[in-house]
Amino acid sequence: MIAIIDYGMGNLRSVFNAFQALGIEAVIADGPAGLREAAGVVLPGVGAFGDGMRNLCERGFIEELEKQVVAGGKPFLGLCLGLQLLGTRGFEHGENAGLGWIPGVVNRLVVPDALRVPHIGWNDTRFVKPDALFDGLGAAAAFYFVHSFVLVPDDPAVITGVCDYGVDFTASVRRDNICATQFHPEKSHKAGLAVLRNWAAALPKSC
Amino acid sequence: MLKKRLIPLLLLQNGLLVRSESFSIHQVLGNPIHEVERFNQWSVDELIYIDISQDDACDLRRDDHKIRGLNDPLAILDAVSRTCFMPLTWGGRIRSVAEMRERISRGADKITLNSAAVKTPDLITQGAQVFGSQAIVVSIDSRRHADGTREVFIDGGRTATGWKPDDWAREAQRLGAGEILLQSIERDGTGEGYDLELIAAVAAATSIPVIACSGVGRYEHYVDGIRAGASAVAAANIWHFKELSDRGGKRALAKGGIDIRL
């Protein structure tokens, strides 16, 4: 069973529906207690960085996540804002502290003049490092993005996928049990559902 | 690189899927969920659903369809998001941040504001602050006057606002909108093609993506819309009345040299 974190920011219904369609048992956790029994934790998110951190904190998730994911090694999947919140600091509507699990900053996507921001739509992600998340997808796949900010990790070795929108930016990251995508797998048809299936397939079976 | 998008726009009126002409004539097409299942199987780029009901009345013919609670647009959103593994924009009758949150938590990725954005511009900013600009689509309905000037209308095309479409689009962006959905009242349902001057003016006035809509009668019209400056091309009626409308549209765009997701 996996837990999807409800912190008032998510398109969590879509994420829940995607796992259901894949036959993977998922629950929506509206408080930290809901994370304890789960084999893996998903942090989805549509929204602004500061509100996201504030809501995670107010609902008591941060301490439990530190315990389960950082100390306990429980598999974690961040989606969109759920990737950005892994950074140390974010600059959307002022400066805010992030979770800091993947040291780096979340900046506005700066692209050549002719390109429009937010970056909305289907774009190719090149898989720059082998990752079980992308099993069966080849060297690159088109996923759906919708965002104005990007994570710039301090250590480029955590980057597993790169997307080109006039400039290359971080499309996916992994550090041990913590992985995340800037794109929305739950909104990316077959390629996206494959990512969610791959992530769930690697979870401990006993749970 | 980022691909141009091809988007079906579905109109919901009192619980039923309808087609529209000039924003005033609406014919019932049927079940609001079945179309979504079809589009999902076709793996279309994205979907926009707009509830254009003017009141809470529901159509009695809903009994013909096998989905309960069709009189509640939110129940339709629930059903749509269960079969929809693509980006979903939901609009119509959204007047508060609470109503935005309700729709996003039920599976919408973006919400669109139209009349409410003009009446309460601060709603755009509030929504962008809570959900991020990328989740706030401002929908603009333009009407071309006899002298060639264009004006933004709200309330389903019934109320003039005094705004020029490009000025209002620029202002909407400044307030925090992440995308513009651009419709043309007099082109709606005609099949004569997009209002290309309108698209060019709004695209030039903004740096956020513009979704062109209204007037598509042939797939080649999509190419014109992209060339005029749109980042995405949407249509409603053509999706209902032509076979293989996604393939056909994509093929025309590719033939026009436009980078799309095949």
pLDDT in tens, B77-90: 998 888 889 999 99
The total number of structural domains in chain A stands at 1
- Say whether B209 and A120 touch across the interface (CB within 8 A): yes
| Structural domain of A101 | 2-201
How far apart CA B20 and CA B92 sit, in angstroms, is 15
Residue of chain B whose Cα is closest to the Cα of A117: B208
How far apart CA A110 and CA A166 sit, in angstroms, is 9
Query: H helices within A66-184, ranges in order?
Result: 81-84
Is residue B71 predicted with pLDDT exceeding 70? no
Q: How far is CA A69 from CA A60, A62, A134, A156, B148, in A?
A: 15, 10, 21, 21, 61
Low-confidence stretches of chain A (pLDDT < 50) are: 207
Q: DSSP assignment, residue B260?
A: B
Nearest-CA distance A44 → chain B (Å): 11
Q: Is residue A18 part of a domain?
A: yes
Residues of A in Cβ contact (< 8 Å) with B88:
14, 187
In the set A64, A80, A92, A179, the catalytic residue is A80
Residue of chain A whose Cα is closest to the Cα of B81: A14
Predicted confidence at residue A9, as pLDDT, reads 78
Is residue B215 predicted with pLDDT exceeding 90? yes
Report the DSSP beta bridge partners of residue A105.
A89, A152
Q: B127 — contact with chain A (CB < 8 Å)? A: no
A4, A7, A46, A54, best to mutate vs chain B, most B CBs in 10 Å: A46
Residue A54's CATH number: 3.40.50.880
Q: Is residue A152 part of a domain?
A: yes
Is residue B192 predicted with pLDDT exceeding 50? yes
Are A193 and B43 within 8 A, CB to CB?
A: no
In the set A147, A163, A179, A184, the catalytic residue is A184
A184 is a catalytic site residue: yes
- At B32, the pLDDT band (50, 70, 90 cuts) reads confident
Residue of chain A whose Cα is closest to the Cα of B205: A116
pLDDT in tens, B103-131: 988 889 899 999 999 999 999 999 998 88
Is residue B58 predicted with pLDDT exceeding 70? no
Average pLDDT of the residues in B60-64: 48
Does CATH number 3.20.20.70 belong to domain B5-255?
yes
Q: Helix axis angle, B34-42 relative to B73-83, nearest 10°?
A: 30
Residues of A in Cβ contact (< 8 Å) with B128:
48
Q: Is residue A193 part of a domain?
A: yes
Kindly report the length of chain B. 262
A80 is a catalytic site residue: yes
Q: Is residue A73 part of a domain?
A: yes
What is the dihedral angle through the alpha carbons of A107, B176, A13, B50, rounded to the nearest 10 degrees?
Answer: -150
Predicted confidence at residue B68, as pLDDT, reads 45
A163 is a catalytic site residue: no
Predicted confidence at residue B142, as pLDDT, reads 98
- The strand order across the sheet containing A40-43 reads A26-29, A2-5, A40-43, A76-79, A178-181, A167-175, A159-165, A119-127, A140-147
Q: Is residue A164 part of a domain?
A: yes
Predicted confidence at residue B262, as pLDDT, reads 82
pLDDT in tens, B220-259: 999 999 999 999 999 998 998 777 889 999 999 999 999 9
B69 burial level (CB within 10 Å; 0-12, 13-18, 19+): middle
pLDDT in tens, B133-174: 889 999 999 999 999 999 999 999 999 999 999 999 999 999
Q: Is residue A206 part of a domain?
A: no
Q: Is residue A207 part of a domain?
A: no
Q: Which of A167, A172, A113, A121 is nearest to A142 (CA)?
A: A121
B-contacting residues in A 59-98 (Cβ below 8 Å): 81, 92-93
Average pLDDT in chain B: 90
B1 burial level (CB within 10 Å; 0-12, 13-18, 19+): exposed
Q: Is residue A20 part of a domain?
A: yes
Q: B208 — contact with chain A (CB < 8 Å)? A: yes
Q: DSSP assignment, residue B4?
A: B
